[in-house]
Amino acid sequence: MKKEADLSIDFCGVRFENPFCLSSSPVGNHAEMCARAYDAGWGGIVFKTLGLEKSFKVIMPSPRLSIFNNFDKRFVGLQNAEQITDRPILDNIKDIKWLKKNYPKKVLISSIMGYVDEDWSDLAKMSQDAGADLLELNFSCPQMAHKTAGHRTGQDFHAVASFTEVVKKACTIPVIAKMTPNITDMIPVALAAKEGGADAISAINTIRAITDIDINNFTPLPNIRGHSSPTGFSGPSVKPIAMRFVSELYNSKPLNLPISAIGGIETWIDALHFLLLGATNLQVSTGIMRYGYRIVEDMIEGLQDYMMERNIQSLDEIIGKAARKIVDPSEFNTRFQVVSVVDETKCIGCGQCYISCMDGANQAMEFNKETRKVFVNEERCVGCLLCKHVCPVWDCISYKEVDTNEMKHAAIF
């Protein structure tokens, strides 16, 4: 019997039994919820972002959620107008103390958001005194009603560096700076956080978006008394964007900080993707909101099975393996091209690949009306693989590789 794969991981000098954490959101709003998550098997939680009511009183809008559907597939994205916690700070600190007392081997990360230096300093000290293992600085919430908070701070390099420095001076536990994706290039902001003393980076937070519009009253959703706003978008739809940012952070040599990845993680394969792109810690919210805390059981089992099948002993062996293969498009090897190949025995004659290639690619697919089969004109095929991607039969269309140097050599003779 093979030995069970070890999912424990070191992040900022703190040992996690597994890399799976609740991200700062409604899924970790108070002690009872976090305890349920710990009991389900999560390695850590990032407690819902704390603020000081003396500086800004949070009043939640309602309704605050809208989902993005793709035809019959529901909930491929979630838009929320949620803000940081609206609970009194002393209640939250009491919960953190209780959680650390009752779950001493589990990791607790306190997410904080201030508005002035004193806020950041006070929140850091209170969190550390309550027993938090790490701090996450929320520079990224896209729908905070406060005019100088959330993603607005995260777009200001000077503010990020300055507030990070304030927190580092106020505490001794590791500090994670949470980045906003509502920016063109995340690296300069991350470097500003590093300049301020950040020990790690977390990314991404939600993306400002509009998911739907009620076409009867012309109001975007969620409809809050006749108005709406671009607010945070999360879930499976944001995963490709999150993977891009995480890989860029990992590949940045000047940055060289551990990364906690957030963005569309629902399955063990999602988790594996982010680990391969350089993350050493993983945070989940939207997946939990839809399926519950127990999704961690499947993620743990799936990741362990994958590692055991390949004789991978620890996560350290795979961290960043895919990120190292990412290059600038100018570095692509274009000597080798591909040509589509159709398996006629599996072709159902729907003609979708033919239509897509004729109207959206290079008109390389040909359709026999009598046999209702398609075949490839290899001289026209440019290997875009649109045909493969639109084909409803997953393994009907494949491709072969062509060495263009050999073709040129053959043409000479």
CATH of the domain at 97: 3.20.20.70
Helices and strands counted in the chain (H then E): 13, 20
pLDDT at 202: 98
HSE-CB for 222 with a 13 A CA cutoff: 18
- Please give the Cα distance from 384 to 361 (Å, whole number): 8
Query: 386 and 308, same structural domain?
Result: no
- Please give the Cα distance from 339 to 341 (Å, whole number): 7
Question: For residues 393 and 346, is the Cβ–Cβ distance under 8 A?
Answer: yes
Cα 346 to Cα 2, 297, 338, 351, 357, distances in angstroms? 38, 36, 21, 13, 19
CATH of the domain at 337: 3.30.70.20
Both structure tokens of 212 = 């739907």
pLDDT at 145: 58
Q: What is the mean pLDDT of each run of 10 residues along the chain (413 residues)?
A: 85 98 97 98 98 87 92 92 93 98 98 95 98 96 72 89 98 97 96 98 96 96 93 96 98 98 98 98 97 98 97 96 97 95 95 97 94 94 97 96 77 48
Residues 6 or more apart whose CB falls under 8 angstroms from that of 6 comprise 313, 314, 315
Number of compact structural domains in the chain: 2
Main-chain phi, psi angles of 6, to 5 degrees:
-90, 115
- Please give the Cα distance from 294 to 314 (Å, whole number): 23
pLDDT at 413: 44
78, part of any domain: yes
Query: 370 and 263, same structural domain?
Result: no
pLDDT at 59: 86
Q: Which residues have a catalytic role annotated?
A: 141
Read off the pTM.
Answer: 0.94
- Please give the Cα distance from 311 to 107 (Å, whole number): 28
Q: What domain range includes position 361?
A: 333-412
2, part of any domain: no
Question: For residues 109 and 127, is the Cβ–Cβ distance under 8 A?
Answer: no
CB atoms within 10 A of CB 268: 20
